[in-house]
Amino acid sequence: KAGVTQTPRYLIKTRGQQVTLSCSPISGHRSVSWYQQTPGQGLQFLFEYFSETQRNKGNFPGRFSGRQFSNSRSEMNVSTLELGDSALYLCASSTRSGTNTEAFFGQGTRLTVV
Protein backbone atom coordinates (compact mmCIF):
# COMPACT_ATOMS: atom_id res chain seq x y z
CA LYS A 1 0.00 0.00 0.00
CA ALA A 2 1.52 3.31 -1.07
CA GLY A 3 2.00 5.95 1.60
CA VAL A 4 1.07 9.62 1.57
CA THR A 5 2.74 11.35 -1.36
CA GLN A 6 3.53 15.03 -1.37
CA THR A 7 4.79 16.92 -4.38
CA PRO A 8 7.01 18.69 -4.95
CA ARG A 9 9.54 17.87 -2.24
CA TYR A 10 11.33 21.21 -2.53
CA LEU A 11 10.23 24.55 -3.82
CA ILE A 12 11.81 27.98 -4.03
CA LYS A 13 9.54 30.95 -4.67
CA THR A 14 9.86 34.72 -4.66
CA ARG A 15 7.93 37.03 -2.36
CA GLY A 16 4.59 37.95 -3.83
CA GLN A 17 4.25 34.81 -5.90
CA GLN A 18 1.75 32.06 -5.24
CA VAL A 19 2.36 28.36 -4.80
CA THR A 20 0.35 25.15 -4.96
CA LEU A 21 1.31 22.02 -3.06
CA SER A 22 -0.18 18.62 -3.68
CA CYS A 23 -0.97 15.69 -1.44
CA SER A 24 -2.13 12.23 -2.46
CA PRO A 25 -3.48 10.31 0.54
CA ILE A 26 -3.27 6.61 1.21
CA SER A 27 -5.80 4.71 -0.85
CA GLY A 28 -9.12 4.60 1.00
CA HIS A 29 -8.35 7.56 3.22
CA ARG A 30 -10.85 10.37 2.80
CA SER A 31 -9.48 12.84 5.30
CA VAL A 32 -6.49 15.03 4.46
CA SER A 33 -4.99 17.52 6.89
CA TRP A 34 -2.27 20.07 6.34
CA TYR A 35 0.32 21.33 8.84
CA GLN A 36 2.98 23.99 8.73
CA GLN A 37 6.25 23.30 10.54
CA THR A 38 8.69 26.09 11.33
CA PRO A 39 11.52 26.34 13.88
CA GLY A 40 9.81 29.26 15.60
CA GLN A 41 6.16 28.17 15.68
CA GLY A 42 6.54 24.41 15.59
CA LEU A 43 3.80 22.31 14.03
CA GLN A 44 0.60 24.19 13.38
CA PHE A 45 -2.64 22.90 11.92
CA LEU A 46 -3.74 24.60 8.72
CA PHE A 47 -6.94 22.81 7.69
CA GLU A 48 -8.62 19.47 7.16
CA TYR A 49 -10.66 18.24 4.23
CA PHE A 50 -13.02 15.31 4.22
CA SER A 51 -15.14 14.27 1.25
CA GLU A 52 -14.22 17.48 -0.58
CA THR A 53 -15.41 19.67 2.30
CA GLN A 54 -13.29 21.71 4.66
CA ARG A 55 -14.09 20.35 8.12
CA ASN A 56 -11.67 22.27 10.26
CA LYS A 57 -9.48 25.32 9.89
CA GLY A 58 -6.51 26.62 11.85
CA ASN A 59 -5.59 30.17 12.61
CA PHE A 60 -3.96 31.21 9.36
CA PRO A 61 -4.68 34.18 7.07
CA GLY A 62 -6.91 33.85 4.05
CA ARG A 63 -3.84 33.65 1.80
CA PHE A 64 -3.74 29.99 2.78
CA SER A 65 -6.41 27.94 1.09
CA GLY A 66 -7.00 24.39 0.06
CA ARG A 67 -9.28 22.02 -1.71
CA GLN A 68 -9.92 18.35 -2.07
CA PHE A 69 -10.90 16.44 -5.16
CA SER A 70 -13.29 13.54 -5.57
CA ASN A 71 -10.37 11.07 -5.49
CA SER A 72 -9.38 12.54 -2.07
CA ARG A 73 -6.23 14.18 -3.40
CA SER A 74 -5.75 17.60 -1.89
CA GLU A 75 -4.02 20.78 -2.86
CA MET A 76 -2.92 23.67 -0.73
CA ASN A 77 -2.43 27.12 -2.14
CA VAL A 78 -0.59 30.07 -0.66
CA SER A 79 -0.99 33.40 -2.42
CA THR A 80 1.13 36.54 -2.12
CA LEU A 81 3.97 34.67 -0.49
CA GLU A 82 5.83 36.24 2.41
CA LEU A 83 9.27 35.38 3.77
CA GLY A 84 7.59 34.00 6.88
CA ASP A 85 5.80 31.38 4.80
CA SER A 86 9.09 29.52 4.44
CA ALA A 87 8.42 26.21 6.15
CA LEU A 88 8.00 22.49 5.86
CA TYR A 89 4.41 21.76 4.86
CA LEU A 90 3.19 18.36 5.96
CA CYS A 91 0.13 16.54 4.79
CA ALA A 92 -1.54 13.74 6.74
CA SER A 93 -4.27 11.36 5.71
CA SER A 94 -6.60 9.23 7.79
CA THR A 95 -9.80 7.25 7.52
CA ARG A 96 -11.60 9.50 9.99
CA SER A 97 -13.30 6.40 11.32
CA GLY A 98 -13.94 7.38 14.92
CA THR A 99 -12.14 5.12 17.35
CA ASN A 100 -9.61 3.87 14.84
CA THR A 101 -8.19 7.23 13.91
CA GLU A 102 -4.53 7.39 12.98
CA ALA A 103 -2.86 10.02 10.84
CA PHE A 104 -0.20 9.01 8.34
CA PHE A 105 2.14 11.73 7.21
CA GLY A 106 3.88 12.43 3.95
CA GLN A 107 7.51 13.49 3.72
CA GLY A 108 6.56 17.11 3.35
CA THR A 109 7.25 19.93 0.94
CA ARG A 110 10.04 22.28 1.90
CA LEU A 111 9.04 25.75 0.74
CA THR A 112 11.61 28.52 0.70
CA VAL A 113 10.49 32.07 -0.01
CA VAL A 114 13.24 34.47 -1.10
For 97, residues 6+ apart whose C-beta sits below 8 A from its C-beta are: none
- Considering beta carbons, is residue 42 or 62 the nearer one to another protein? 42
Give min distance, CB of 26 to another protein, in A: 13
- Least spacing, CB of residue 75 vs another protein, in Å: 18
E strand or H helix that includes residue 76: strand 74-78
Q: Where along the sequence are the contacts to another protein (CB under 8 A)?
A: 31, 33, 35, 42-43, 45, 48, 50, 55-56, 58, 88, 90, 92, 94, 96, 98-99, 101-108, 110
CB 84 within 8 A of CB 52: no
